[in-house]
Amino acid sequence: MGRTTRRLRAATRGSALALWQTEHVAALVRVAHPDVEIEPVVVETTADRRLDIPIAAMGGKGVFVKEVQAALLDGRADLAVHSAKDLPSTTVDGLALAAVPTRADPRDVLVGATLDALAPGAHVATGSARRRVQLAHARPDLRFSGLRGNIATRLQRVGEFDAVVMAKAALDRLGLTPDVVEVLDADVVVPQVGQGALAIECRADDAEVLGLLAAITDAESRRVLDAERAFLAELGGDCNLPAGAHAVVVDGAIRLTGVLASTDERVLRRLTLEGGDGEAIGRDLARRILAEVERGQPLA
């Protein structure tokens, strides 16, 4: 007798990038468990429909995942595939962060021009306060406008602006190669928490799916993501402060760099800590950097 195929339903947004990510997770699962097939359950989110409203005005972090998580909680899906950067820093009751595959490049890119080549007063498009405040520190002369939409839509609008900022991982995953792209070093623009990583959730009481998904977790990627999420959680979880964090493993220890700006964006501070316990480092870094921003310390 042949094997019985186990079919799992994966909740996902419907963008080309989200569908690519879900198929990528399905492929990883097939390698680990050849008798398991994953089929997408597409969830159209309010945030995807209402491109005219800034993310901060819709509630900030979490607006892209709430309706996907609802499909998981009400039984329409067995797991959910998210961009880790979209997840709030605390896990929803009833759900578990079951797997974090190997992380892609977390850095941001500038499309349309390099930072040094931008003319004085150049117009840069980004809907992210984190990106805007760091680029403004590097180039105080730049002008900024908000921009939302999927990757293809934003690339189409590059000609309307001198440059557009987006995530390198998104371009890489979709195989997109714009004519002019500058990868922004994490020392220039600290990435968003979780950028480049995928986060797969399932119901916390679903022992079978938890066990299946454990096989596709990359231990180092999970470790650095946990450190970055701890940093964000200590700052207030879903706060709208312009903040970013980037963790790497160096000789077995976590090296975590965080950036935070004041709400008026006039004070920007970046700090780095290193230690064995990534989550403890994340919490400690958040407390230190928040204290320095509140004291009005400039960027070091």
Same domain for 165 and 42, yes or no, is no
Tens place of pLDDT for every residue, the chain, 300 residues?
Answer: 456 889 999 999 999 999 999 999 999 999 999 999 999 999 986 655 544 444 454 445 566 799 999 999 999 999 999 999 999 998 999 999 999 999 999 999 999 999 999 999 999 999 899 999 999 999 999 999 998 788 888 898 898 999 999 999 999 999 999 999 999 999 999 999 999 999 999 999 999 999 999 999 999 999 999 999 999 999 986 556 799 999 999 999 999 999 999 888 888 999 999 999 999 999 999 999 999 998 885 654
We report the CATH number of the domain holding residue 176 as 3.40.190.10
Provide the domain count of the chain: 3
User: Is residue 300 one of the residues assigned to a domain?
Assistant: no
Active-site residues: which are they? 86
Same domain for 203 and 83, yes or no, is yes
CB 156, CB 149: distance < 8 Å: no
Q: What is the pLDDT of residue 56?
A: 52
CB 100, CB 24: distance < 8 Å: no
Q: What is the pLDDT of residue 5?
A: 87
Distance CA 99, CA 217 (A): 5
Q: What is the pLDDT of residue 238?
A: 57
Distance CA 199, CA 97 (A): 7
User: Is residue 190 one of the residues assigned to a domain?
Assistant: no
Q: What is the pLDDT of residue 216?
A: 98
Q: What is the pLDDT of residue 297?
A: 58
Q: What is the pLDDT of residue 237?
A: 64
Same domain for 139 and 92, yes or no, is no
Distance CA 96, CA 81 (A): 12
Same domain for 93 and 21, yes or no, is yes
User: Is residue 222 one of the residues assigned to a domain?
Assistant: no
We report the CATH number of the domain holding residue 284 as 3.30.160.40
Distance CA 267, CA 277 (A): 29
User: Is residue 223 one of the residues assigned to a domain?
Assistant: no
Residue ranges making up the domain that contains 285: 228-294
Q: 21-30, long-range: CB within 8 Å, 24+ apart, which pairs? A: 21/81, 21/83, 21/173, 21/198, 22/81, 24/101, 24/173, 24/198, 25/81, 25/99, 25/101, 25/198, 25/200, 25/216, 28/101, 28/216, 29/212, 29/213, 29/215, 29/216
DSSP symbol at 53: S
For the CA atoms of 45, 47, 50, 51, the dihedral, rounded to the nearest 10 degrees, stands at -130
* Lookup: tokens for 96: 């578990």
Residue 23 burial (CB < 10 Å; 0-12/13-18/19+)?
A: middle
Q: What is the pLDDT of residues 205-246, one digit of tens each?
A: 999 999 999 999 999 999 999 999 999 999 986 556 799 999
